[in-house]
Amino acid sequence: MERHFEQELQKLKSRILKMGNLVADQIHNTMLALQTCDIELAAQVIRNDKIVDKLDVKIDKLCQRIFALQQPVATDLRMIMSSLKMNNDLERMGDHAVGIASRIESISEYPEILKELEMEELIRQTDVIVKDVINILNTWNTTFVRDIFAQASAIEALSQKITDKILEEMSQKREVIVVASALMIILTQMERIAGYSTNMAESVVFIVDGEMIKHAKPGSLFLNPDTEE
Amino acid sequence: MKDTKIVTKKLSFYYGEKMALNSVSVEMPEKQVTAFIGPSGCGKSTFLRTLNRMNDLIPNVKIEGEVLIDDLNIYDKKVDVVNLRKKIGMVFQKSNPFAKSIFENIAYGPKINGISDKKMLEEIVVTSLQRTAIWDEVKDRMNHSALGLSGGQQQRLCIARTLAVNPEIILMDEPASALDPISTAKIEELIFELKKNFTIVIVTHNMQQAARVSDLTAFFYLGELIEFGKTRKIFTTPDKKQTEDYITGRFG
């Protein structure tokens, strides 16, 4: 006899995956809009955030209901705890997509600046890390979790490199200050998207392996810091 | 929204001078599970037993108000209590199979209701046992005594026996409190399946069980219905402080 609880868990899994795909689409479109300075596509991302927010609340309510009514333990408990957290991470990623999308118009006045700063690679990597982490969420295969950490580090390094370039540009050309400031914020938001992607990967590890790997020392992935209560 | 199956209107109940239920009005929907929770002596079992007139058997009791099932007052003088209890089956805390074979336990009700055709009886027995998900466990020993089954199996057999007379409502008074966790889980899953076809009312001491199995929850305290509503609401954001205190274990 199948547990009724199983149906609730399946519902939660499919909603989290739906949220993941929705946010991955939002970020993909944002990156595309940024790359091509497509203001209309950026406006669409901003409009679609409502859908993300709605699903966010729906998932929170489902988790609350499962906690209250089913008293989950072991894998089930980890699954629901992590779903709440991943839901929150995804919603924040969606917000960062909106943050980037809302600044595309101001950049569109100097589209050449993206080329000058060699932003294409960063845009591509941001799109890829999100797709990859959603793939991990879909398959629950933790083999590629390390890759997400490496990708996030690469994004951070690239972002820092571009930030340095922007600072240099700003010091030389006063007219780029407005665009450059917008770009600095965009870079921070791309880094945050990568950061949330690593959180998501950590959550999948917690569900599948029961290992709490967050705050692990760099280079010692899967080795827990001393987290005993 | 489902149709209403059971309605009580200002139902009060007295054991001698002592008031056990104080003007309880509630509407229970068809083909849903309604759970009654509350501390010992709160009146929840008394209330359950008013729904098929089981309290009639107790001397020196008094009832006021109405219990309507399908809009008919079951306390009306014209009501045939035997027929009423055919429509409203009951399962108790302690499984109570007859000291007969498994087959005879299930066939007993249909037989006294006049069914004598062997094939028809067999069909009823098999269907009832299948519906309670015990058929696979007992199909090879239908002529063995029901008393040889485990506690959990006996309880599912008793539920099957209830189903054999084709009731519309099943009342359950602590149906899993004497069972181990696995048997309890089986009973809970069974309740979830049965509500597709039956209206179920369950009394339970186990709040988590009420949370898991029911659609609606009624919280009783000192004979009063304190709060009644959707289980998901009661267990996440109850309206009354007394309910909150009880379900969070802060009672006292």
Using CA atoms, how far residue B31 sits from A7, B34, B215, in Å, is 19, 9, 10
* Minimal CA separation from B232 to chain A, in Å: 6
**In this structure, is residue A214 part of a structural domain?**
no
Enter the tokens of residue A54. 């709605």
Asked whether the predicted pLDDT for residue A9 surpasses 80, the reply is: yes
Strands B61-69 and B88-91: unpaired
**Looking at residue A148, which CATH number applies to its domain?**
1.20.58.220
**In this structure, is residue A218 part of a structural domain?**
no
Beta bridge mates, B172: B91, B202
**In this structure, is residue A10 part of a structural domain?**
yes
Cα–Cα dist B165/B151, whole Å: 22
**In this structure, is residue B252 part of a structural domain?**
no
**In this structure, is residue A229 part of a structural domain?**
no
**In this structure, is residue B118 part of a structural domain?**
yes
**Nearest CB to B235; choose among A2, A5, A69:** A69
**In this structure, is residue B74 part of a structural domain?**
yes
**In this structure, is residue A80 part of a structural domain?**
yes
- Asked if B171 contacts B198 with a C-beta cutoff of 8 angstroms, the reply is no
Residues of B within 8 A of A69 (CB-CB) are 211-212, 231-232, 235
**Looking at residue B187, which CATH number applies to its domain?**
3.40.50.300
Q: Does A4 touch chain B (CB under 8 A)?
A: yes
Using CA atoms, how far residue A176 sits from A15, A35, B179, B235, in Å, is 43, 18, 75, 57
* Minimal CA separation from B18 to chain A, in Å: 35
Asked whether the predicted pLDDT for residue B111 surpasses 70, the reply is: yes
Q: Does A71 touch chain B (CB under 8 A)?
A: yes
- Asked if A27 contacts A92 with a C-beta cutoff of 8 angstroms, the reply is no
pLDDT digits 0-9 by tens, B154-183: 999 999 999 999 999 999 999 998 888 888
- Asked if A186 contacts A96 with a C-beta cutoff of 8 angstroms, the reply is no
Domain boundaries, position B134? 4-247
pLDDT digits 0-9 by tens, B41-91: 999 999 999 999 998 889 999 999 999 999 999 999 999 998 999 899 999
Cα–Cα dist A92/A30, whole Å: 14
Sign, CA torsion A146/A150/A153/A159? negative
Mark yes or no for CB contact A1/B133 under 8 Å: yes
Residue A221 has a pLDDT of 52
When computed from its CA atoms, the radius of gyration of chain A, rounded to whole angstroms, is 19
pLDDT digits 0-9 by tens, A15-64: 999 999 999 999 999 999 999 999 999 999 999 999 999 999 999 999 99
Mark yes or no for CB contact B189/A68 under 8 Å: no
Residue A219 has a pLDDT of 54
Cα–Cα dist B201/A156, whole Å: 59
Whether ipTM exceeds 0.90: no
Residue type, B6: I
Cα–Cα dist B90/B33, whole Å: 14
Mark yes or no for CB contact B189/A1 under 8 Å: yes
For residues B193-221, give the mean pLDDT: 95
- Asked if A123 contacts A68 with a C-beta cutoff of 8 angstroms, the reply is no
Asked whether the predicted pLDDT for residue B12 surpasses 80, the reply is: yes
Using CA atoms, how far residue B85 sits from A5, B58, B214, in Å, is 32, 16, 23
Count of domains for chain B: 1
**Nearest CB to A69; choose among B190, B192, B232:** B232
Mark yes or no for CB contact B235/A4 under 8 Å: no
Residue A174 has a pLDDT of 83
Predicted TM-score of the model (pTM) = 0.85
Asked whether the predicted pLDDT for residue B228 surpasses 80, the reply is: yes
* Minimal CA separation from A69 to chain B, in Å: 5
Mark yes or no for CB contact B211/A65 under 8 Å: no
Using CA atoms, how far residue A58 sits from A84, A94, B58, B223, B230, in Å, is 11, 16, 49, 37, 18
- Asked if A70 contacts A12 with a C-beta cutoff of 8 angstroms, the reply is no
Count of domains for chain A: 1
Domain boundaries, position A142? 4-209
**In this structure, is residue A20 part of a structural domain?**
yes
* Higher-pLDDT residue of A222, A131: A131
Q: Which residues contact A214 (CB under 8 A, 6 or more apart)?
A: A199, A202
DSSP state letters, B103-151:
HHHHHHHHHHTT---HHHHHHHHHHHHHHTT-HHHHGGGTTSBGGGS-H
When computed from its CA atoms, the radius of gyration of chain B, rounded to whole angstroms, is 18
**In this structure, is residue A133 part of a structural domain?**
yes
